[in-house]
């Protein structure tokens, strides 16, 4: 009962506008509004500081595991709150810190004033404008959706908004077919009614809850950024799943990769599937990316709309290099920009099988050639005479140039594999490293015979010791290395590298468990400061100490070489101050 985001996108393209959307707090996180997780820890900190007479200035980083442990121990000692990670935490702690509804409303208002519509909200409003999305349900108090719709619609009158103060609007819209509709199940931040505490959430407004159940009998539902904490909403969805004929267009619950939904959500999807509903859990990196990918299948998007959402809220924008001091920490990535890569390679037709047969032919010939197989022919780098000799026994013909399109480096294509192999060879050749391909992974490592070379001095300092040596129990040898990967994101090609410990050929009957433990121990102490030094060291090795390095796979002047220009500064991300 799992599907990819691509499966969901194709279903949406076929079934819109009969798929409704349900947005939780996760869809507003990138707009600057704290998530439920953030608020829970803020509530816990408030309790801790007020009861223990501790300044909040002494507890600034709520992501600090040590601080979390101290605060959690205090909260558990009180003996009146649910366990860590419980679905009841948000409501219990909110009510404990702010018993008054007016105080809760003021708190929510202060939180949502930080936010502005994201790319995802603008994309959602675009789909509303094009009648591809008609109904959106949300538990959020903010007005990101309303603000995005007003910008694209150029009016505030076209979007019907039903809140706890005006539930009849939802009923009227469904009866009269007036779209689009936004139904705010927990109220609006300026509403006199807000749903935050356990009692309030249980007493969810009956008319909006009834409207949700009725709507689920008419179409499908996509849930994004919502944990499933609220008993009243989950009860409504569970009731709908039990009702014959509900969710005729499917029920899809979107979660982040490598996470698990709450048990109640998993049970809901399982029950829906057993009742014949097309139901699944879908993994997607973010709400913004999902909405952007959905827009890719929208034909003839008006230029003024496309320009507006890209200019108003680009998903990624260039950021100035942060200074040594600042309020926002930079997040460093293990990615170097590839500013130039080969535009052409050789292409020839051969009576040859697939990619495996091409690799075997290259290995057998022993020539300096990098090659890959595409349906239209064999693609290769190297001297022309070496390429011809490598494939001579396979009756080569049509010896031409082949253009390497950047867009074909965005997926697992023959061109990507070819460029991958060529770049690995170029770095190994220029920096005197060992290279190995293991399944789909490309590895580069220090040659133990050159481990004392001056070019590796910064790496020796980063690891605070030797960068090559013998394994325990004479099982073989090891050296420091990196796994590399190519990715094209936001119209740029990046070289991603991850420091690791390269294990050389093991002796016969080597104790594999001790080898794995040796690897684990070498990586266990590499925290942020050490990791930062390792990234610096390997960036310097790859670039040769230059601001931009030119790397050549063969160093030839005839045939087609593979030339790359790689920057020395890794990518970083930081959040600019909002104005």
State the average pLDDT over residues 449-462: 94
Pairing of β 377-382 and β 369-374: antiparallel
Residue at 61 is within a domain: yes
**Separation between Cα atoms, residue 266 and residue 270, nearest integer Å:** 6
State the average pLDDT over residues 498-505: 89
Condensed to tens digits (0 to 9), the pLDDT of residues 215-253 reads 999 999 999 999 887 888 899 999 999 999 999 999 999
| Alpha-helical regions (H) of 382-493 | 384-390, 414-431, 457-463
State the average pLDDT over residues 306-330: 55
**Separation between Cα atoms, residue 349 and residue 342, nearest integer Å:** 21
Q: DSSP per residue over 27-92, as a string?
A: GGGGGT---HHHHHHHHHHHHHHHHHT--GGG---TT-HHHHHHHHHHHHHH--SPPTT-TTHHHH
Rg (CA), the chain: 29
| Residue 157 and residue 249 share a domain | yes
pLDDT at 315 over 70: no
Torsion of CA 336, 341, 347, 351, to 10 degrees: -10
456: which DSSP letter? G
CB neighbours of 29 closer than 8 A, spacing ≥ 6? 35, 225
**Residue corresponding to tokens 């404008």:** 129
pLDDT of residue 202: 44
Task: Place 393 in a pLDDT band, splitting at 50, 70 and 90.
Answer: very high
pLDDT of residue 366: 94
Burial 498-517 (b: 16+ CB within 10 A, else e): ebbbbbbeeeeebeeeebee
The token pair that represents 300 in the structure block = 């003839």
Closest C-alpha among 545, 550, 575, 543 to residue 564: 550
Query: Could you say which of 64, 89, 112 is where a domain stops?
Result: 112
Query: Could you say which of 84, 112, 140 is where a domain stops?
Result: 112
pLDDT of residue 332: 80
Residue at 380 is within a domain: no
Most confident of 87-91, 112-116, 342-346, 510-514: 342-346
Q: How many domains would you assign to the chain?
A: 3
The token pair that represents 478 in the structure block = 């090891």
Residue at 398 is within a domain: no
CA distances 365 to 196, 356, 370, Å, are 71, 14, 12
| Residue 285 and residue 140 share a domain | yes
**Separation between Cα atoms, residue 95 and residue 85, nearest integer Å:** 17
Q: What is the number of alpha carbons within 13 Å of residue 540 lying toward its C-beta?
A: 16
Task: Place 527 in a pLDDT band, splitting at 50, 70 and 90.
Answer: confident
pLDDT of residue 176: 92
pLDDT at 439 over 70: no
State the average pLDDT over residues 87-101: 86
pLDDT of residue 313: 47
Residue at 303 is within a domain: no
Residue at 90 is within a domain: yes
Task: Place 434 in a pLDDT band, splitting at 50, 70 and 90.
Answer: very high
The percent of residues above 90 in pLDDT, for the chain, comes to 52
Out of 53-67, 109-123, 308-322, least confident range: 308-322
Length of the chain: 579
| Residues facing residue 302 across a β-bridge | none
Question: Taking the chain, what is the end-to-end CA distance rounded to the nearest angstrom?
Answer: 43
| Residue 179 and residue 95 share a domain | no
Residue at 393 is within a domain: no
| Residue 230 and residue 93 share a domain | no
State the average pLDDT over residues 334-353: 92
The token pair that represents 343 in the structure block = 């535009």
Residue at 395 is within a domain: no
pLDDT at 188 over 70: no
CA distances 560 to 387, 400, 419, 557, Å, are 10, 11, 13, 8
pLDDT of residue 117: 87
| Residue 49 and residue 155 share a domain | no
Q: What is the enclosing helix (H) or strand (E) of 231?
A: helix 231-242
Residue at 377 is within a domain: no
**Residue corresponding to tokens 């001579």:** 392
| Residue 206 and residue 143 share a domain | yes
- Expressed as residue numbers, the domain containing 510 is 336-343+404-573
| Residues facing residue 488 across a β-bridge | 493
**Separation between Cα atoms, residue 248 and residue 218, nearest integer Å:** 7
Condensed to tens digits (0 to 9), the pLDDT of residues 459-490 reads 999 999 999 999 988 888 999 999 999 988 87
pLDDT of residue 192: 46
| Residue 563 and residue 473 share a domain | yes
**Residue corresponding to tokens 């399109």:** 405
| Residue 50 and residue 11 share a domain | no
pLDDT at 576 over 70: no
pLDDT of residue 167: 86
| Residue 148 and residue 91 share a domain | no
Asked if 236 and 209 count as a contact pair (C-beta separation under 8 A), the reply is: yes
CATH of the domain at 266: 3.40.50.1220
pLDDT at 66 over 60: yes
| Residue 127 and residue 99 share a domain | no
Q: Is 239 exposed, middle or buried (0-12, 13-18, 19+ CB in 10 A)?
A: middle
State the average pLDDT over residues 402-429: 90
The token pair that represents 298 in the structure block = 């929208």
Q: Give the Cβ contact number of residue 412 at 10 Å.
A: 8
Asked if 3 and 280 count as a contact pair (C-beta separation under 8 A), the reply is: yes
Out of 354-363, 420-429, 523-532, least confident range: 523-532
pLDDT of residue 327: 46
The token pair that represents 31 in the structure block = 């707009």
**Separation between Cα atoms, residue 352 and residue 394, nearest integer Å:** 6
Closest C-alpha among 200, 258, 262 to residue 234: 262
Residue 465's region, left for phi above 0, alpha for psi from -120 to 50, else beta, is left
CA 16 to chain CA centroid, nearest Å:
25
| Residue 476 and residue 461 share a domain | yes
Query: Could you say which of 112, 130, 147 is where a domain stops?
Result: 112
| Residue 153 and residue 103 share a domain | no
The percent of residues above 70 in pLDDT, for the chain, comes to 90
Task: Place 193 in a pLDDT band, splitting at 50, 70 and 90.
Answer: very low
Condensed to tens digits (0 to 9), the pLDDT of residues 512-526 reads 788 888 888 888 878
pLDDT at 133 over 80: yes
Q: What is the mean pLDDT of the chain?
A: 86
């Amino acid at each position: 009962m799992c599907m990819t985001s691509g499966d969901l996108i194709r279903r949406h393209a076929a079934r819109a506008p009969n798929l409704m959307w349900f947005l939780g707090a996760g869809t507003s996180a990138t707009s600057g509004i704290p998530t439920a997780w953030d608020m829970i820890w803020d509530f816990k900190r408030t309790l801790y500081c007020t009861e223990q007479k501790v300044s909040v200035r002494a507890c600034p980083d709520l992501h600090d595991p040590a601080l979390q442990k101290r605060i959690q121990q205090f909260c558990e000692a009180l003996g009146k709150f649910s366990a860590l990670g419980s679905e009841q935490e948000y409501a219990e702690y909110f009510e404990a810190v702010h018993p008054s509804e007016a105080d809760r409303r003021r708190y929510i208002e202060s939180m949502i004033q930080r936010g502005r519509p994201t790319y995802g909200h603008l994309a959602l409003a675009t789909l509303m404008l094009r009648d591809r999305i008609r109904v959106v349900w949300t538990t959020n108090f903010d007005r990101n959706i309303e603000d995005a719709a007003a910008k694209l619609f150029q009016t505030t009158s076209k979007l019907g908004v039903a809140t706890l103060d005006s539930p009849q609007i939802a009923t009227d819209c469904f009866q009269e077919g007036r779209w689009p509709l936004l139904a705010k199940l927990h109220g609006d931040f300026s509403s006199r009614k807000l749903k935050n505490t356990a009692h309030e959430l249980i007493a969810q407004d009956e008319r909006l809850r009834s409207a949700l159940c009725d709507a689920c009998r008419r179409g499908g539902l996509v849930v994004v950024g919502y944990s499933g904490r609220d008993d009243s909403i989950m009860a409504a969805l569970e009731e709908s799943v039990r009702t014959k004929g509900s969710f005729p267009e499917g029920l899809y619950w979107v979660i982040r990769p490598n996470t698990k939904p709450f048990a109640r959500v998993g049970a809901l999807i399982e029950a829906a599937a057993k009742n014949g509903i097309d139901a699944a859990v879908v993994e997607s990196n973010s709400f913004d990316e999902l909405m952007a990918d959905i827009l890719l299948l929208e034909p003839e998007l008006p230029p003024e709309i496309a320009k507006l959402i890209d200019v108003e809220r680009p998903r990624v924008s260039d950021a100035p290099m942060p200074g040594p001091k600042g309020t926002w920490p930079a997040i460093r990535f293990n990615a170097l920009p590839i500013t130039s890569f080969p535009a052409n390679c050789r292409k020839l037709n051969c009576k040859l099988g697939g990619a495996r047969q091409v690799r075997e032919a290259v290995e057998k010939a022993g020539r300096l050639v990098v090659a890959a197989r595409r349906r239209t022919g064999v693609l290769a780098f190297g001297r022309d005479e070496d390429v011809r000799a490598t494939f001579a026994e396979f009756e080569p013909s049509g010896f031409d140039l082949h253009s390497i399109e950047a867009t074909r480096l965005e997926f697992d294509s023959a061109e990507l594999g070819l460029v991958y192999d060529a770049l690995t060879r170029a770095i190994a050749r220029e920096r005197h490293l060992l290279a190995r391909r293991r399944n789909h992974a490309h590895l580069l490592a220090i040659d133990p015979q050159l481990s004392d070379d001056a070019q590796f001095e910064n790496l020796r300092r980063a690891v605070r010791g030797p960068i090559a040596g013998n394994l325990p129990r004479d099982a073989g040898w090891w050296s420091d290395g990196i796994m590399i990967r190519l990715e094209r994101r936001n119209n740029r090609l990046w070289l991603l590298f991850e420091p690791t410990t390269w294990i050389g050929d093991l002796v016969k009957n080597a104790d594999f468990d001790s080898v794995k433990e040796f690897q684990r121990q070498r990586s266990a102490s590499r925290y942020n400061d050490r990791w930062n030094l390792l990234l610096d060291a390997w960036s310097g090795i790859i670039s040769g100490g230059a601001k931009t390095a030119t790397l050549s796979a063969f160093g030839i002047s005839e045939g087609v070489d593979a030339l790359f220009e790689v920057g020395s500064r890794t990518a970083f991300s930081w959040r600019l101050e909002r104005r």
